[in-house]
Chains A and B, each alone.
Chain A
Amino acid sequence: MSGARPSVCGVDGSPRGKIGSVGMQHGKYRFIVGFLAAPLSLYSLFVIWPFVQSIYYSFTDWSGLSPEFEMVGFKNYTRLFDDEVFWKSLQHSVLFVLLLPLVTLTMALFFAFMLNVGGRRRKNAAIAGVRGSSFYKVVYFFPQVLSIAIVALLFQFAYNPNSGAINSGLQAVGLDDVQPDWLGDPDLALWCVFAVLVWCTVGFFVVLFSAGMASIPKDYYEAALLDGANRITTFFRITLPLLWDTVQSGWAYMGILALGAESFAVVQIMTVGPNGGGPDYSTTVLPLYVYQKAFRDGQAAYATTVGVALLVVTLLFVAVVMRMGRRERLEY
């Protein structure tokens, strides 16, 4: 691997600060590369290399159950275009990546604002959260403590149409005729999954945003309140702009979650069908489809093709997030 030898010229005490000198620039690179060699090679080996391999395998007919395979050119890709289940999975994954961050972060922002700024004015404090906010903070964080698999299992019981918590609750308030099949209904199943993902992630962002809000100087709020600003104005004029960096990280994180492991786990554990994804493909998502093709149908090569499609979606998402990030930052 190139650059594995730590370069010495950067650490030999040469004076710094001559920015712009070409020779120094060169030395600086070598210095930095020397330090980054180890993490970079690890990253390359365990992140970049598997990507490269996946793309290579997507041009083969590898089954995943034997070491033999042949090159088949673009066959997997042409098959992908005619694959109805793939398009459905793509549709659901895109829906998740668009809506999940939006809903979760909006809710988390609202809760965090209420917990930190939204309360009545009290003596000696310009701003305060609603009554019992420190208690709520803990409660919101609870779901984060549970593993996603346990959350999915719990909700599976809650969604049980016959004796689950939700339908029993509906019955208890006299809604005997409103007894949906939840996960068994293709029109509702995806939203059931969506709700679980929101439920188990919103708490983390409430805590994260609360921390962010706590570091916004109180004077700003005080000044705004003196000027007669109401809660909504303070939120949009002060809280949100100063919190934008945190929101943006949250957006990226939620997008990864919506495209990756979390949505896979919830769909796989909760929904209808041998590996989830039903009823009638109404909840299938891209990572689940990759899993099914690779580990159930013995079509690992085709699975990597779907994986490449997932990579494209992810890259598009990243591009959007990066673009969103291009704005002046406020320093305070």
Chain B
Amino acid sequence: MGSTSAHNDRGGFGRRDLIKRSAALGLITVPTTGFLSACASGDGGDDEKVDKGKKTKENPLAVNGSAPLEIVIFDGGFGTEYAEDAKAVYEKNFPEAKVKFSSTQKIQSVLQPRFNQGTPPDLIDNSGAEQMDMGVLVGKKQLADLTPLLDAPSVDDPAKKVRDTLRPGIVEMGQFDGDPVWIMYYAYTVYGVWYSQKALASLDATYPETWDDMLAVCAKAKKKGIAGWTYAGKHPYYIPFSLYPMIAKVGGREVLDAIDNLEPNAWKHPAVKACFEAYYELYKKGYILRGTPGLDHIQSQTAWTEGKALFIPNGSWVENEAAKTMPKDFDLAVNAPSGIDSSDKLPFGAIWASGGEPFIVPAKARNTEGGMEQLRIMLSEASSKNFTSSVKSLTAFNGGTDGIELTPGLTSGVAALEKAGDNVVNPRIQDWYVALQKEKIGVGGLGEMMAGRLTPAEAIKKIQGYADDAAKDDSIQHYKHQ
């Protein structure tokens, strides 16, 4: 080893010189091959669409029955079976159509290049950790307007439009600015405070409706060596699932709307302050499971199902996700967040519920009608029931729970929705400004406060700063409540 001499004073060149010179040569030869023309983003692909089929009563969207259809499904907590079942219906209705079905957990990696080439599939479940940014997709006009689907007659009752069969808030969630509906959320998620009814009963307690009662229950639990709360410390943007509806309950929906609209000083509203202080008290009184800031969602859920903590802010997918560690007699329940006291603006029961599993039909898809028809099939009562019974979640279809046996969590979710009535809130900051909500407000603000590293006042100041920056940042698309 070490026998090569780098410098060579004999006039020729050494190995190292050679490499240097050839690298330089490579650098020069390359740019001549067309610097500007060969951009990686391609030339936009061909925009050809398949011919429309004949519009009939059975085929209100005028699907071309012989055109191929491509579906890409996110293979996450809900699996893919429900979508495959719906695909089978499409194949039955259009026997000549070749349906290509695939699933992935890496939506972005698989589909981003295809958007860039201008050849996306016809229907996508744009979900999961690798979700493509909806705001950007809408802003860059990459999505098809789903209004024809919403105005088409529903599968079960031709006299009713699809839009009239959906749960409240679903259509609005698909809108960004103005009337077009870009996204069809298929699942319906109930967010709130999740707990074991059995554990609560063993403390001789009922679910607390005010914050004083909440603290009393936590004190009782602490005496028995159980923590009051835990949360996904590594994903602190789970905290808003119960905190945001609490803010709405205390100060009214306008407070959340102002937050969504990135209005100046939206976070300085007294209701926000009261709720932040209430949550901070959980930390100060030691009611939060030790080590929570270092737990991810699965670890915190496991600690919770093991009975180490009483309450956890979460969404209705937790029943499926934590099924493996949840004891048979856990008696899972969800409730609306506790308020401060009786002077709150909204009655107890105000809850966050909104669509999940966002389905999109790309604007440049070749068979947009086919993509929408597949959604229409999925929004039938039969498909909806199939989804609910197999994955324990509600769908956007309003109803579809009769005649099937609901699990404890789902039953309590339906009850919580009934109790909420009109007081269902749907903070849009979560889908409008993903980075702001998750990374900045969630991790940088709430996570730090709940770990005790920021006081509520500091957290509010920091979060307001984040929101102001986002409002000023012209590299992100801005939205407002209509």
A residues engaging B (CB < 8 A)?
Answer: 1-3, 19-20, 25, 28, 32-33, 36, 40-41, 43-45, 48-50, 52-53, 56-57, 61-69, 79, 156, 159-163, 167, 179, 181-186, 212, 215, 242, 245-246, 271-275, 277-281, 292, 295-299, 302, 329-332
Contacts and interface: CB of A to CB of B under 8 A. Distances in A.
Given A67-B116, A161-B294, A184-B294, A56 B2 contact: no
Contacts of A156: 296
Contacts of B4: 329
A295 B112 contact: yes
Contacts of B443: 272-274, 278-280
Given A52-B35, A161-B290, A43 B26 contact: yes
Contacts of A242: 2
B439 interface: yes
A292 B293 CA distance: 22
Contacts of A272: 233-236, 293-294, 443, 447
A184 B475 contact: no
Contacts of A2: 29
A66 B116 contact: yes
A297 B132 CA distance: 8
B22 A36 contact: yes
A52 B31 contact: yes
Nearest to B469: A84
Contact of B3 (A48, A56, A273, A331): A331
8 contacts: A20-B10, A20-B11, A61-B475, A67-B116, A68-B140, A162-B308, A183-B294, A296-B434
Which one of B45, B294, B438 has the highest number of Cβ atoms from chain A below 10 Å of its Cβ? B294
Nearest to A50: B40
A49 B447 contact: no
Nearest to A159: B294
Contacts of B201: none
Nearest to A18: B12
A157 B262 CA distance: 38
A64 B137 CA distance: 10
A278 B447 contact: yes
Given A162-B289, A331-B3, A277 B439 contact: yes
A62 B443 CA distance: 28
A239 to B, nearest CB: 13
Given A65-B140, A278-B439, A299-B475, A179 B290 contact: yes
Nearest to B454: A280
B446 to A, nearest CB: 11
B35 A181 contact: no
B251 interface: no
B44 A67 contact: yes
A296 B435 contact: yes
B115 A65 contact: yes
A79 B475 CA distance: 10
A19 B35 contact: no
Contact of B295 (A160, A179, A215): A160
A332 B2 CA distance: 8
Contacts of B43: 67
Size category of the B interface is 35 or more
B472 to A, nearest CB: 11
Mostly, the B contact residues are loop
5 closest Cβ pairs, A-B complex: A161-B291, A298-B136, A184-B293, A184-B294, A161-B294
A159 B299 CA distance: 11
Given A40-B26, A281-B444, 15 more contacts: A32-B22, A48-B26, A63-B140, A65-B140, A156-B296, A162-B290, A162-B308, A181-B294, A183-B234, A184-B292, A271-B234, A272-B234, A277-B439, A292-B435, A330-B2
A19 B12 contact: yes
B211 to A, nearest CB: 25
Contact of B447 (A68, A246, A279): A279
B423 interface: no
B26 A161 contact: no
Which one of B18, B137, B299 has the highest number of Cβ atoms from chain A below 10 Å of its Cβ? B299
A43 B136 CA distance: 34
Given A298-B133, A329-B2, A184 B291 contact: yes
Contact of A184 (B3, B112, B451): B451
B41 A162 contact: no
Given A44-B29, A65-B140, A184-B234, A274 B438 contact: yes
Given A65-B112, A67-B41, A298-B133, A179 B291 contact: yes
Contacts of B5: 329
B287 interface: no
Interface string B417-454: 00000000000000000110011001110011001010
Contacts of A182: 294
A175 B179 CA distance: 61
A49 B39 CA distance: 10
A168 to B, nearest CB: 11
Nearest to A244: B2
A64 B476 CA distance: 13
B99 interface: no
Which one of B2, B45, B129 has the highest number of Cβ atoms from chain A below 10 Å of its Cβ? B2
Contacts of A186: 448, 453
Nearest to A299: B475
Contacts of B291: 160-162, 167, 179, 181, 184
A69 B43 CA distance: 11
A209 to B, nearest CB: 12
Contacts of A63: 136, 139-140
Contact of A20 (B12, B135, B233): B12
Given A63-B136, A278-B443, A296-B434, A185 B293 contact: yes
A167 B303 CA distance: 15
B139 to A, nearest CB: 8
B404 interface: no
A297 B22 CA distance: 39
Interface in B16-60: 18, 22, 25-27, 29-31, 33, 35-36, 39-45
Contacts of A1: 29, 33
A52 B133 contact: no
Contacts of A52: 30-31, 35
A100 B237 CA distance: 32
Contacts of B289: 162
B74 to A, nearest CB: 15
A159 B289 CA distance: 16
Contacts of A299: 475
A41 B27 CA distance: 10
A252 to B, nearest CB: 14
B283 to A, nearest CB: 13
